[in-house]
Every structure is written in structure tokens, then in C-alpha cells.
Amino acid sequence: MIEVGDHDVKAPFEAIAGAINAHPRVVLAMLATAILLALAGTTMITMATGNDTYLDKDSPRGMLLAKYMDTFQSDATMVLIEADDVLNPSILAYIDRLQGELRTEAHVTSVASVVDMVRQMNGGALPTSTAEIQAAQDRVPADLLARYLPSRTMTISIVTLDPGLDEQTQYNLLDSVRERVRLSNPPPGVTVTVTGNAAFSQEMGAEMGSSMGMLVLAAMVLMVIAVGLLFGHVRHRFLSVGIVATGLILTFGIIGWAGMSIDMVTIAAFPVLIGIGIDYAIQFHSRFDEEARRGTLPEAVRMTVTRSGPSILYAMLATSMGFIALQVSPLPMIRSFGQVCIIGVLACYLVTLIAVPTFGLLINYRPKAIRHPTGTHGEPKRNAEEVYNHLLGRLASRVARNPVPVLLFVGLIAFIGFQMDGEIIITTDEDTFVPKDMPAKVNLEKVSRTMGSTDSTPIFVRGSQVLSPESLRWMAEFQAYEETHNDKVTGTSSIATAIREANGGVLPTIRAEIDAALALIPEETKSRLISGNTEALITINTVAMTNTQGLSMIDQLRRTLEWTAPPPGITASLTGQGEMFTNLIKEIEDGKLTMTLLGFGLIFGFLLLVYRRLGKAITPLVPIAFIVGWNGLIMYVLGIDYTPLTATLGSLSIGVASEYTIVMMERCYEEWEEGLGLFEGIVHSIRQIGTAISVSGLCTVFGFSALILSNFNIVSNFGLVTVLSVGFSLIGAITIMPAVLALIGSRGKNAPHREAEVQPA
């Protein structure tokens, strides 16, 4: 039994029970008011995409990336034009007219396409005949022509934007560009598509919103099916589904009122909450039904609130410990996932605690009559629940009498899983997280195939004199070294490159020559390479690489920067989205272990505080340790990668599994305190609550299963492994806990006696 200040803990629950019995309609009205406020809060929820979901903007790396993007990063929107022959004079004229309109848009720096190239090669006038177009085309450099005109059926117009535009401004500009394209009246057979990184982010946000709605709906439908099939022994079985829906509304409302955003990882929290919330609702409903069979409804309200309230509270707090552990992650999206889960389990618990007894009292709840099937001669037979509990009892008896072999076997499997965990690939490529057929992704891939690899790593150079001869010489030498010693580098550029080209191919050695060369460089070019005299940029262009290859190259660049250090007073730092995504690999690898260990530590500390007995605090954690190992093994076998979301699996498993193992241990200690022997108490506990745990666990599985239906690969893979993890949690509570309890119980100070045999029921 729970051993911390029983009277102090029960006092608020006695007050809640008294309020429900005295004023059930008032309590219901207060709950309805909270729901209305929550519904208003749901309208304030926003979708988050972009760098802030991966990198803490207040960290040194986050601030450096934000500074780089505000200063130098000019996002480009691509307009993809497809036709039978894009070099047809009428189509070129159309593109020219469209570009002229786009140049008038606010925040548009420039617009460039094959039209500008042929115009330049035709003396500044747009060719009007096929012969003039062909002649101009022949004079355009082949590599430049291939970049903007990969074939006669497709060309790209690049719309360069002002640096440092915020996300909403880019989205508004995108909408304006799309509207101009819609009203541009393209020639017959011409298809115009607006694409680019901003379009990708905008569509991903919209996709997340629809995906979240689909996941919540699917989870609720699965809940209705699960409860309908598994929870038929109580009256008003679907009350649990309504309660979970109410808890979810409160969760959405709190998120909206708190100004929190939802990202591609956070959307996975809602089916998780539905799965956990249905567990609370079923347990409260089952206890209320049980108490209503024994006495009056007011007494059933009091017993349910004061008995189940504290025990489920402890289980909820233990589950929350796993989510609290997620707050140590350096990834904002993982911390946000944990925060939403904490809010959600608390909301579901509070709604269940109040709604079940209030609803039961107001409708004058009457339990269903228990019917026992009879045999051919009229003798009573066990119903399905009794048969299931009997089988579980026999299994528990065998396990409890052979604990060491059982624990050695499951421990060996877990050990293999821990070893295989290090072999699981870590993926941080955002393109693999989103739906494969998302139009913005398809269009962006088409552009990438057309223009070739656009991967680059920026090096942000800062100091009091970034344009000094020494600084420029260092930039040029560093670039030359990378171009000759790194086979992944396809080219480099910097202000040193531009000054050397403006100075006849020779890098100036005195400041007067540097200033003269700077005067020859177009302002548009300089703005992409320097900011005043204190900030400059070196761009390292590379071939397309996997995240692992990118991480290796980033590490190599860092080492090169360390031993080819810039002049005194100058600093050079790697930044950019490529550096951010490759660095996520390290953060996920380190963070998942830290989160798992912290989850164990928090739950152990919580249980030690509650029980104040070391052995009892450790007991529920033993099966959980095995479950974490099994998770690693199943991910390795199924070929599921670690992502920012699956990295939370360890902490999530600890939180979810702890409820089952704690409930099982609590019931066993209760039976021992009633005088049952060691093995008899274990077996009787399994027989009494085996079905209840199985039903709630299977309903949780149904809720988590909705994640598998997500269009986002990052969410669907997470759904698969969480379903398996909850299954492991049930196995751990029903089959491994008897072995652990047999060992712990036989060695405790107040160990129950060992009876000779447990007779099957």
C-alpha cells in the first residue's frame, strides 16, 4: 500500500467526494465552463516549423544561426515553368512579364532566369524569334544554362528575398506570388509551380494540422472499438471515451492559452494521451462499478474518489516522471512533446476523477447484473474473464516458483537489445520525416534534380577587421586548402574570392587596393558576403551527402579551423542548417541515454519518497529495465531508425510501464498484508486484476496504434515501436513482475511465508 502520509493525501479527495455528493450539478457546471474556455483556447494554437523546433534559439549555436540568417541568408522562392518548349518566344515573353511583376513585390531582391541570360546575350533586348533565341542561347555558358534550363520542357525562375525575413512574412509573400501566378494568364500548355524552402515549410505546417486531426479522430475511433469489445461488463461503457475526449479538449485549450506551438513531433502526443487517458477512465469506471455493487451511490462516489484517486494519482505522477525527463533534451521539439504529455495526463486524470462519479450520481448509475454461463447439467461455468484470470494465475505460479531462470532469460534478451541499440542508425533528415507525396516536397526534389546539389556549409567570420589583408589572406588560404584536400567540397566563395576577381585575379596586399577592388563589386554581391567591416561569410559548397557523411565533414571542417586558426581578433564558426541537422545526430545519441537514465532516476526517487523502502522502490523498475532493452532489439530487427521522436522511447516506456508494474506490486503487497503467503499472494493478485490491466493496456495499444496511420514517417515509425513497447509493458507486468516479487518478497524484513502449494482455482 502507499505509505506516505495516508491521511494528508486523502484529505483533498475526501473534500472532492463531499462536493460531488452535495452539489453534483454545480460540479458538472464548473466542468462544462472549463470545457468552454478550453474550446476558446484551441483557436489560438499555431503550428511550428523551421529551425526553432530543432535548435534552442537562446543557445550560443542558436543565436549564431539566427545572426547568420538575419545577416546573410537570402531565402529564395523558385518558380518552376514547364511546357513543351519553354524557349518559345511567346513563353519567354510570358516569363519576362511575370518576372517584372514579381520584382515589384516587397522584400524581393532580384528575379533571375534563362530570360535574363538570353536578353543579356542579345544586346539587352528580349529575342522575338526562334533564330535569335538560339543564337543567344549558344552564347550562354553551358554550366549556367544547364542550371536554369535543364531541358527544353522546363526552366526555373529564382526569386531572391531580403535576408532575415521572418516566417510569417515569407508565407505572406508566397501567397502573393501564387496570386500573381494565378492572375498571370500563362499561355496554353504552360504549368507554373511556386516552390522552395518556405513553400515546403508552409505546406508542412498545413499537413501537420490535417494529420493531427486525422490522428485524433483515428485514435478516438479505435478507442470506441476497443472499449466496445473489451469493456462490456459495465454499464455506459463508452463513458470512458467521452471522458478522454474531454481531457483532450482541455489539453488543447491549455496549449492554446499558454501560447505553445505544435510541431511534427508534438502531434504524436495526442494519440499517446488518448491511450493513457483511456487507462485512467477505465480504472475509475471499473472501481465505481465495483463500489456501486456493494453499497449506495454516494458511498460509491466516496470510495472511488478516496481509494482510486490517490493510487491513480501516484501512477499518473510516475508516468509524468518519464515525460519530465524529456526536458533535459537540447531539442525544443522533444521538450515540447514532453510538456504536452505532462499537461495531457494531468488534464485526463482530473477530468476522470471528477466526471466519472459526478456522471454516475446524476444518472442514478446501476451496475449490470453478472451472468454466469451454465454447463449441460446446469452447473455454473466460468465466464471468459474468469477463465483468463485463471490462466494468468497458473502462469504467475510457474514464474514465481522459478524466478531466477525466468529473469536470466529475459535479462539476456534485454542485454542483446542494449548491445544492438548502438547499431541503430540515427536519422535527422527532415525530408524523410514528411509525407513522400507532399506536393512541396515533390516540387523541391524536382528543383534539386534540375539545379544539382545546392548543399553548402557557411562559416561565419567575425572580428574588428574582417577586410584586413591578413584576414583576406587567411580566407583565401583556408578555401584553397578545403578545395584541394576535401573530396566532398565542390567549390568555395567569400569576399576574398570576389576581391581577387575584381583585382585582376590577384589578392590585394594593402588596404588601398582592397578598397579599390571593393568599389568594383556590385552592392548586391557584397551584401551576400560581408556586413560592414566586422562580419563576413565563407561558403563551402559540397556534394549531396547523408547525415552521417555530413557529420564527418563538419567535424573535419572544425578540426581544420582549429589548426588553421584565423588571425588575432578574428573568429570563424561553422553554422547553417546543414550544421544544425548533422549536429542533431550527436544530440540525439547523447540525449536518448540521458533521458532514459533520468527517467529511471526520477521514478526511483519518487517511489523511494512514497514507499521509503529501497526494495519496494526498486521492484517496479526491474521489468522496466528489461523493456527498454527489448525496445532496442525490436527497433534493430525492424530496421527503424532513431529520430527526434523515437529518441523519446526510453523515457516514454519507463513512464507507461511504471503504471502497470506499480499497480501489480501494490495489489500483491495488499494481499500479503491480508495474510496470504508468498506465492498465493502473487497468484491471487494476478487473478484479481489481470483482466483489468490487460483491458486498459490493450486500450492504450489501440490509442497508440493511431500513430501508425500518420502520413509523417517520423510519427508512424514512432507509433509502431510504441505499440510494441506497450505490449512489452503488459508482458512485463503480468509475467516478469511475479518473478521479481517472488525474489524481493522472499528476502524482505516482513517477508510473507512460503506456502507449500497454490491450488489452481
Q: What average pLDDT does the structure give for the chain?
A: 83
Question: pLDDT-derived band of residue 351, with 50, 70 and 90 as boundaries?
Answer: very high
Q: Identify the weakest region by mean pLDDT among 126-140, 167-181, 631-645.
A: 126-140
DSSP output for 321-377? HHHHGGGG-S-HHHHHHHHHHHHHHHHHHHHHHHHHHHHHHHTT--PPPP---B-TT
Question: pLDDT-derived band of residue 9, with 50, 70 and 90 as boundaries?
Answer: low
Instruction: Please state the rounded mean pLDDT for residues 444-461.
Output: 71
Instruction: Please state the rounded mean pLDDT for residues 631-639.
Output: 91
Query: What does the alpha-carbon distance between residue 255 and residue 327 come to, in Å, rounded to a whole number?
Result: 17
Query: What does the alpha-carbon distance between residue 501 and residue 143 come to, in Å, rounded to a whole number?
Result: 19
What is the dihedral angle through the alpha carbons of 324, 328, 333, 334, rounded to the nearest 10 degrees? -50
Q: Identify the weakest region by mean pLDDT among 72-86, 167-181, 296-310.
A: 72-86
Q: Identify the weakest region by mean pLDDT among 79-93, 378-392, 587-601.
A: 378-392
Domain spanning 71-189: which superfamily?
Answer: Ribosomal protein S6/Translation elongation factor EF1B (3.30.70.60)
Percent of the chain with pLDDT over 70: 92
CATH architecture of 6-43+204-372+386-428+583-747: Up-down Bundle (1.20)
Instruction: Please state the rounded mean pLDDT for residues 67-90.
Output: 81
Q: Identify the weakest region by mean pLDDT among 198-212, 347-361, 380-394, 487-501.
A: 380-394
Q: Identify the weakest region by mean pLDDT among 314-328, 410-424, 447-461, 552-566.
A: 447-461
Instruction: Report the range out of 126-135, 367-376, 414-423, 517-526 with the highest average pLDDT.
Output: 414-423
Mapping DSSP onto H, E and C, the string for 62-119 reads HHHHHHHHHHCCCCEEEEEEECCCCCCHHHHHHHHHHHHHHHCCCCEEEEECHHHHHH
Reduce the DSSP state of residue 166 to 3 states and report it.
coil
pLDDT at 37: 95
Pair type for strands 154-161 and 76-82: antiparallel
pLDDT at 261: 86
- Asked whether the beta carbons of 610 and 6 are under 8 A apart, the reply is no
- CATH 1.20.1640.10 segments of the chain: 6-43+204-372+386-428+583-747
pLDDT at 761: 41
- CATH 3.30.70.60 segments of the chain: 71-189
* Residue 542 Cα distances to 501, 551, 752, angstroms: 22, 13, 69
Residue 374 phi/psi, 5-degree rounding, is: -115, 155
Residue 184: is its pLDDT beyond 50? Answer: yes
- Asked whether the beta carbons of 55 and 329 are under 8 A apart, the reply is no
Residue 649: is its pLDDT beyond 70? Answer: yes
Question: pLDDT-derived band of residue 760, with 50, 70 and 90 as boundaries?
Answer: very low
More confident residue, 703 or 320: 320
Residue 757: is its pLDDT beyond 50? Answer: no
Instruction: Please state the rounded mean pLDDT for residues 245-254.
Output: 93
Q: Write out the H or E segment, with its range, that includes residue 154.
A: strand 154-161
Query: What does the alpha-carbon distance between residue 457 and residue 90 come to, in Å, rounded to a whole number?
Result: 40
pTM above 0.85, yes or no: no
Residue 108: is its pLDDT beyond 70? Answer: yes
Residue 749: is its pLDDT beyond 80? Answer: no
Ramachandran area for residue 189 (φ above 0: left; ψ -120 to 50: alpha; else beta)? left
DSSP output for 485-539? H-TTEEEEE-HHHHHHHHTTTS---SHHHHHHHHHHS-HHHHHHHEETTTEEEEE
pLDDT tens, position by position, 669-682: 878 887 888 888 88
Which residues, at least 6 apart from 442, have a Cβ–Cβ distance to it below 8 Å?
none
